[in-house]
Structure 1
């Protein structure tokens, strides 16, 4: 389940950043443990992402994955967009200057 969430978040970030040309990974780090993980990467087009997650005990026999991270990318308009987020039992909660507040 953890692996699926990690790849889903990574895929979402890469889709949002969709570069006009192929980018190469210039830096990548990851660490996976029994109850936590973290990773980060940067690509040649300026896209960056970092994320860490831990298993949170919600009560007897109930656990949830708690994830926090950020990503940034350069949009077609040349502006850098940055998003920070938390994803836990309350859902995905992104924050960024360009994201409307409800």
Structure 2
């Protein structure tokens, strides 16, 4: 499932660049692994590889890069596996999420201290 989501994101990126020309494209698909990469003439570069780790657990690693409309180089490295999608590095850095509000933090602590009984 995660593989399909990651692949859909890449297809969406490619569709958003429908006027770009393909400079390089490589792909290899096997039963237990895959890899592909492409480069477009508008600075977009994408590479991804995945392998089957268990019966239905995929580990997918990839990186993407492009130039923003402001001329800034953007890059992203990620992994998607049984732990979900995780960004390994991003340039520019991803924004730091805001802190958890105090009332929410107290509620989370109360829930953790008072687990639901099975009765």
TM-score w.r.t. length of structure 1: 0.78
- TM-superposed CA distance for 1:6, in Å, is 5.1
Which of 1 and 2 has higher RCO (CA within 8 Å, sep 6+)? 1
1:3-42, aligned counterparts within 5 Å?
Answer: 4-5=4-5, 7-14=7-14, 18=16, 22-42=19-39
CA contact (8 A) 2:50 2:59 kept: yes
Count of aligned positions: 95
Gaps of 5+ in 1: none
Q: Could you tell me how far 1:35 is from its partner in structure 2?
A: 0.2
Question: 4+ residue runs of structure 1 moved beyond 6 angstroms?
Answer: none
Task: String of CA shifts for 1:21-59, please: whole Å, max 9, x gaps.
Answer: 8211110000001100000000000100000000012xx
- 5+ residue gaps in structure 2? 98-119
In terms of fraction of residues, the more helix-rich structure is 2
Which segment is superposed worse, 42-51 or 88-97?
Answer: 88-97
Say if 2:67 is the partner of 1:91. no
Contact conserved, 2:3 with 2:58, CA < 8 A, in 1?
no
Structure with a larger share of its residues in strand:
1
Larger radius of gyration: 2
Give the TM-score, by structure 2 length: 0.68
